[in-house]
Chain A
Amino acid sequence: MIKVSGLTNDYGARRAIQNLSFDAQQGEIVGFIGPNGAGKTTTMRILTGYMPPTDGEAIVAGYDVVEESLEVRKRVGYLPETVPLYTDMVVFDYLKFMGELRKIPNVDSRVDEVLDMVGLFERANGYIGNLSKGMRQRVGLAQALLHRPEVLILDEPTIGLDPGQVVEVRELIREIGKERTVLLSTHILNEAQNICDRVLIINKGRIVAEDTTENLQARLIGAERVIIRVRGEADELAKTVKLVKGVQGVETREDGSVEFEFASGKDLRPEVAKQVINSGYELIELRPLGMSLEEIFLELTGSDTEKK
């Protein structure tokens, strides 16, 4: 559905993306992860036909983004990062306008349908300017879904939403991703882990890693880190934890808890818990310490600088 090879783009002298290659199949949700300025938005703009690449080729829904831009644009739904909307328009009228540009038959009923999907049915007659940021985000999403696109490209789709809405929107994306291709960018690893089948990590215009989120984490750290907290002294606790076979890297933390790790795939939490309770401690907390995107980044870019 999406096939990108050797994509390169320059803004004047600055190279935004360099020799990017990846693909996405139908029914797949691909996450695009990277820090600000990594080239996520640039790549998405090229794939949506907004701007042509300096070099390389991108095929979306079977059409070339440069040669057959109009055909691509008919088949792509796009939610830009800043969700640009006409604030002086009524929600319904705006969606109807976008629907007419996309020549949707029975546009009125389709707009109602999409408004219902994103949970904005009650606000259909309100001005976009009076909506909260989260609601505007959903208007943008509605606009991207209107024409039942084969490919959905979402730039930071859950940014600015409240936790309840985040869950709803993720659910919606997962639902859509069953039949269509979704490419979304995010900087929340948890989000990528939750909804994406596959993740592309992009940094300074290059793809630095590409895998499922689980594999990525496992590959990068090779171990799972866990945090444990009890009533009592951390130093004493650390000694007890060390007694369990297979536990490594035991460290006491400033807040009085203890951190330790074990090889991934070999969950030692039950053994550690047993050991701690048998030693007479009152166990308060035992939770895995997932690696944050920032840490993965430091890991990836750190090894990058070492090579240099």
Chain B
Amino acid sequence: MRNIWTIAKREYDNYFNSPLAYVVAFSIFLPIGIYFSLIMFVSSQQAMQGGPAPASAPINWLFVFLMIFLSPALTMRLVSDEARMGTLELLLTAPIRDFELVAGKWLGAFLFVFSLIAVTLVFPIIINNYVSPGIDWMVVISSYIGVILICGALLALGTGISAIFTNQFAAFFVTLGLFFFLWFMVSLPASYLPQGGDVLNYLSLSTHFSQSMNNGTINLGDIVYYLSLIALGLFAGTTAVEIRRWR
């Protein structure tokens, strides 16, 4: 466990030295900031006519939506670049298990994204100050649990794919393609199928978030879904590193 932490810590610090991480943070906060201003503006206009109060759920949805496109950039070089530079050789001859290496890489990326998520907490806090009698914090917490789980899953899959490739751009595009498929495409044919539509809907990344946790409903099934993806990503990554040894 200590090894996982050591690797995660280095990876986390590394993000703050990398321009890419700042670009990702900027690409998330700029649209979210604009979106937030719009929500506040529209709500204040409609408040005169008794419209709905502003909520933070759309902001969290946008955060997750942007992560579909941006998280591959955060995970693409995690293992692939170590393989390209040769530094993987020193990690693989250090007394750490392959799983600890992959899990540490994932945790480092996750902690970085967690920092970004923490920043977005300002939005519900601001809304809370404008709305009377305040917002439903349970819904906010449920939404944030969803954001954390889905980001964990995205980053685990990205880490796993990064371990397969030596070229970080190959890892980026494969990861992006997978997320695109899981978010938009997998549930598309569900409504046309006589049977099996439920399975496709279950596989979709978005249904577990947009239609449940982000609205304050926590299902065991949703949590199991995201945890399974995390396990799958880390397992795939560990296997890929083991295969590298045999090649």
Contact = CB atoms under 8 A, between A and B. Distances in A.
B3 interface: yes
Interface in A1-58: 11, 45, 48-52
A102 B86 contact: no
Given A88-B14, A88-B17, A101-B3, A80 B95 contact: no
B246 A102 contact: no
A102 B10 contact: no
A70 B95 contact: yes
B228 to A, nearest CB: 28
A81 to B, nearest CB: 9
A209 B6 CA distance: 44
Given A80-B86, A84-B86, A86-B87, A50 B95 contact: no
Contact of A84 (B85, B94, B247): B85
Contacts of B247: 11
A48 B246 contact: no
A97 B93 contact: no
Interface residues of A, number: 26
- Interface size class of chain B, counting residues whose CB lies under 8 Å from the partner chain: 20 to 34
Interface in B8-38: 10, 14, 17-18
A135 to B, nearest CB: 17
A103 B93 contact: no
Nearest to B89: A80
Contacts, number: 56
A97 B246 contact: no
A263 interface: no
Interface string B208-247: 0000000000000000000000000000000000000111
B105 to A, nearest CB: 13
A49 B17 contact: no
Interface in B41-68: none
B147 to A, nearest CB: 29
A245 B92 CA distance: 61
A80 B92 CA distance: 12
Nearest to A80: B89
Contact of A49 (B2, B88, B93): B93
A82 B89 CA distance: 10
Interface stretch (A71-79, A221-229, A270-278): A71-79
Nearest to B100: A101
B96 interface: yes
Contacts of B97: 70
A52 B245 contact: yes
B95 A97 contact: no
Contacts of B88: 84
Given A50-B245, A97-B10, A103 B90 contact: no
Given A88-B14, A97-B6, A101-B3, A143 B246 contact: no
Contacts of A50: 89, 92-93, 245
Nearest to B18: A88
Given A82-B86, A102-B94, 6 more contacts: A80-B86, A84-B89, A85-B87, A88-B17, A98-B90, A143-B90
Contact of B93 (A11, A48, A52, A88): A48
Nearest to A83: B86
A179 interface: no
Given A88-B17, A101-B3, A102-B95, A78 B90 contact: yes
Interface string A101-125: 1110000000000000000000000
B14 A101 contact: no
A84 B95 contact: no
Contacts of A102: 94-95
Contacts of B92: 49-50
A214 interface: no
A1 to B, nearest CB: 17
Contact of B95 (A51, A82, A86, A101): A101
A66 to B, nearest CB: 11
A86 B10 CA distance: 11
A166 B10 CA distance: 32
A76 B95 CA distance: 9
A101 B93 contact: no
